[in-house]
Amino acid sequence: MTRFKIFLVCILHLGVLLTPAWAIELVVWKAHDHVPEMILPKLDHESPEQAVRRYLKFLNENPDMIKMMNRDRFTVDSLQIQSVKNFDVKRVEKSFDPTFLFIANHFDDLKPNDDRIANFFPVMKKKGAHPFLLPVSADGGLSAEDAQDYRRLVGDTFDVLFGMGGDDVHPKTYRQRITFAHIQDLNITRDQSEILLIQEYMQRQKGVYYGICRGAQICAVARGEQLVQDLKDEQGVTKPHKSAIHEVDLKKSDDNLIRAFVGDKDQIGIQSYHHQAVKPREGMHLDIVASADEGRNFVVEGYQFKNGLGLAFQFHPELLPEDKDNLAIMQGMVDYAAYVKKQKLLNQNCTGLIKGFINAR
């Protein structure tokens, strides 16, 4: 072998040594005609189909997933591989339209014609957004290193990470023992998966996090905050929240996104469906921008990030789509995400995002 050939062989081997053992890509998986396109991580030695089958194998073997599937009357066999292809990251990067990634937190989200998916996706699409669904614990079956690479890729790719309503967050994740949380619905595997993803997404600061109900609670937990496990039994709240329509007060300030969405109103009517909430405290790293009542009946109904890259509600605007204010909130989330993306694509100064958005409306 000539010296030149030996040199080439050495360079090739060095390249292999310097390349990570597994590179992560994203695939788009379509399971049924009436289920949204879903996103899954793919290892570089896998085909897109193998990535889906690895995830399905995880669902069939993980005790927490099996328990939740039994509760939701769901089986892995109901998930097909109608189509699966590589996700076009470059298309997302070049478009001014925001791409949303909704986090599924129970298996009803993966069923055909799911009601709450139907409440979100059409509104978002009509405003120009491109919504995708992230299956429950999508990092299942990955090593810790590969799972971290997957979370980084999601953080760099999607303009919005969206946490939906759902089950109670496991108290273990916010350093409490189980007191009033609904123990039958707790799922530590799912919750830890979501928390790690949200934390990485916030750390990368490439897009906007939105949360509704559980999505607001688990984001607060990811930021080190705690939850009230039951508003009535723990805090003594006497007003109904489990299933009620009531008013919330909007904080008077020049950088309140919710006020910007609904036309600078002091109050709006909302649909409430929860028994837990974010526990308020002095020195929170979140701006409380919506609340209900006072004293022991005080409930955090909305907060936003101080850097402008997050907004979360305890209430459900998607359940009142015919109400002008609640529809305006959902539409406003798309508008704000598009504004933030445009600022970043144009390499504009991203400080004061909320005030810039409000002034531009």
Residue 20 sits at the vertex; the CA angle it makes with 18 and 25, to the nearest 5 degrees, is 140
Range of weakest confidence among 11-20, 146-155, 203-212, 287-296: 11-20
Reply yes or no on whether the pLDDT at 10 is more than 80: no
| Of 4 and 39, the one with more pLDDT | 39
* pTM: predicted TM-score of the whole model, two decimal places: 0.92
Tokens for 105, please give them: 């937190």
**What phi and psi values does residue 38 have, to the nearest 5 degrees?**
-115, 155
Binned at pLDDT 50, 70 and 90, residue 7 comes out as very low
Binned at pLDDT 50, 70 and 90, residue 2 comes out as low
Ordered by where they begin, the domains of the chain are 22-360 (3.40.50.880)
| Of 243 and 148, the one with more pLDDT | 148
Q: What is the mean pLDDT of the chain?
A: 92
Range of weakest confidence among 86-95, 239-248, 298-307: 239-248
**Interatomic CA distance for residues 294 and 17, integer angstroms:** 61
Question: Which whole number is the average pLDDT over 324-338?
Answer: 98
Cβ 91 vs Cβ 62: under 8 Å: no
**Parallel, antiparallel or unpaired: strands 299-305 and 286-292:** antiparallel
Question: Which whole number is the average pLDDT over 112-127?
Answer: 93
